[in-house]
Chain A
């Protein structure tokens, strides 16, 4: 129910705005292709923006609800992961299945970014390795694969069986596997065939002579209704079909991750994409990546919305709940118990649990943050109200202060310092937790942090982490100020 409401809200907001929203996953190659889609959409005469998603399943979900109209995807991922339960083999079967859910794919963009197994050139030479099968004769070679590859149906288990590999294998973070290879801590790992590092490190890619890995042809995955709502944009996006071969894509990735021959250091994906569309399609795209200041400003605004809205609702819910809890012991147990349990759910797990009913994006993050902020407020308000000294309670009683009058004139003012302390704790935690919103495309400081992690870009991580830390300190200071303003002077003497 909530999900459909959200779909309606999203659809309504999408209809209200003229801009076209396309998506990408957060890793370098997808980001470049995403920026290219934006440039192509703008070339059709509309405003366009790019939304970044941490993984295939969230991007796919966003496409299905219409939050985005298209994003770059791989046929192998569609067949083996997103629609795995359908057992699709051919591209035609894939097209039919997609049409059934209102989606379609473009002609292949022109490169196959499949899994591959790589070793260093020196290892290849020393053990005379040419095919994946050659690994079997050297069972002491140490294999380490990305954690996803270790578990995927089309990953290590199938590879081991196909090639009868006796070698032990362990999991490793993908970004760490290149340095581990270079330092000789591992001997072979899984690669994406368009990885910039293959050329940069001079890795040898072992031949998949038994054809184990499926093709991961890059395509533009889009909504069929785009043909009706915005045919010009669709036509422009489809120009990407057949436009980029494997060598070209690898050079783009290299520019973005390591810097090309004529660059000084790495080049932002948006710039790589602009140069690419200008070169490929003769466009005049301006590679104007937003300045650091404007990026931080935008994310600050998004972050403040996440924190502000969730805190506002949390206070509005928690205060009456805790007043009731302070009045009735029977009510206090469940209220404190349930908010306590909510707090014990790890924040990331709570977010993922909420994706089910609520989908991805800012509303989900706000709900999670709000649930997370309840406990400190409820607990402190309850403690503040029940901790009023007995002689004051008795005096209020004897004076004849009852009900709301008593709450307003005596109880809340006396409990205010404790209540504010709870709100302050909740807000400071909230600022930090809101960065996890980057995981579900909710915007805010978490976006650069998560993208930075997937793109091995430390500067990008700092771009989110530093302002988040500053904001937390600011919130703390602001609440100290508020406390001075609203707590009666008599309580501070």
Chain B
């Protein structure tokens, strides 16, 4: 359970987040979407505490962010970003194990193999370095790393942003089944409405210039737009959405 109230974050004179109130229930998938510069990535970083809000409060499971022990907090979050954020000097396996080492947790035997299976990563790739992996494979490793400590909350910042369409579609399907299987609280940042509608069909948060323009299911956004911006944002991407949503099982 994540609660944000009146979050303001300024970079110089520009307000990246301008009074955001948001409540994210546990065990659901929420997509943060909007054009570039709308503040969606900043919002994600504020949630995990990578950047501090200038105003407002973040609470995780009812406790303000500041009241959390940093280590303990980090252990509850799994975090993956667009480029994967994999460390080039470590193999895939070492990258996945790193959070466990950082928190001095012993991994149970077979955990890495289990994660490889979960993320559809060929176990033969585990001993390769990131430079020896394709973009899709790297994202799977990043995902496995985010999941290694079995966190309650998964924060994904454009996890599929850098992939070509075929690989992307593949991974989208895998992510969807993963989210359903694991039943975690997932917050996903994406600029792609189709991806948001597919992975978080009931809870899409559309941001514009640091404010929430509208929140709801994809159908709701389309049927009852809160402002003209919502309509124009949806229309710009709708054709591709229809194709993907119809194809969903």
Q: Which residues of A contact B (CB under 8 A)?
A: 391-392, 394-402, 405, 409-410, 413-414, 488-491, 493
Contact = CB atoms under 8 A, between A and B. Distances in A.
B91 interface: yes
Nearest to B100: A399
A307 B135 CA distance: 46
A409 B79 contact: no
21 contacts: A391-B81, A391-B82, A392-B85, A394-B85, A395-B79, A395-B81, A395-B87, A398-B77, A399-B99, A399-B102, A400-B70, A400-B103, A401-B102, A413-B89, A490-B88, A490-B90, A490-B131, A491-B89, A493-B129, A493-B131, A493-B132
A402 B70 contact: yes
Chief secondary structure at chain A's binding surface: helix
B83 A414 contact: no
Nearest to A417: B89
Interface string B130-151: 1110000000000001000000
Nearest to B129: A490
Contacts of B86: 395
A397 B129 CA distance: 21
Nearest to B90: A490
A400 B88 contact: no
Contact of A488 (B81, B89, B103): B89
A491 B87 CA distance: 9
Contact of A414 (B45, B71, B77, B87): B87
Contact of A398 (B48, B89, B90): B48
Contact of B87 (A398, A402, A410, A493): A410
Which range contains the number of B residues in contact with the other chain? 20 to 34
B50 interface: yes
Given A397-B50, A493-B132, A392 B70 contact: no
Contacts of B48: 398
Contact of B129 (A392, A401, A402, A489): A489
A402 B45 CA distance: 17
Contacts of A391: 81-83, 85
A490 B48 CA distance: 29
A48 to B, nearest CB: 56
Interface in B141-187: 145
B214 interface: no
Most chain A CB within 10 A, of B85, B90, B132, is at B85
A295 B98 CA distance: 54
A-B residue pairs, 6 tightest by C-beta:
A400-B74, A490-B129, A395-B85, A488-B89, A493-B131, A398-B79
B126 to A, nearest CB: 13
Contacts of B145: 399
Given A395-B87, A488-B90, A490-B130, A400 B102 contact: yes
Contacts of B91: 490
B74 A398 contact: yes
Nearest to A395: B85
Contacts of A413: 87, 89
Contacts of B70: 400, 402
A391 B71 CA distance: 20
B75 interface: yes
Nearest to A493: B131
Nearest to A401: B102
A409 B101 contact: yes
A399 B98 contact: yes
A399 B79 contact: yes
Contacts of A491: 88-89
Nearest to B131: A493
A491 B88 CA distance: 6
Contacts of A392: 85, 87
A384 B44 CA distance: 28
Contacts of B131: 490, 493
Contact of B50 (A394, A401, A410, A488): A394
A400 B103 CA distance: 7
Contact of A400 (B45, B75, B81, B82): B75
A10 to B, nearest CB: 47
Nearest to A489: B129
B99 A400 contact: yes
Interface in B32-86: 45, 48, 50, 70-71, 74-75, 77, 79, 81-83, 85-86
Nearest to B132: A493
A493 B129 CA distance: 8
Contacts of A414: 87-89
Contacts of B130: 490
A402 to B, nearest CB: 7
Given A392-B87, A491-B88, 16 more contacts: A391-B81, A391-B83, A394-B81, A398-B50, A398-B77, A398-B85, A399-B102, A400-B75, A400-B99, A400-B103, A401-B102, A409-B98, A410-B87, A488-B88, A490-B129, A490-B130
Contacts of B85: 391-392, 394-395, 398
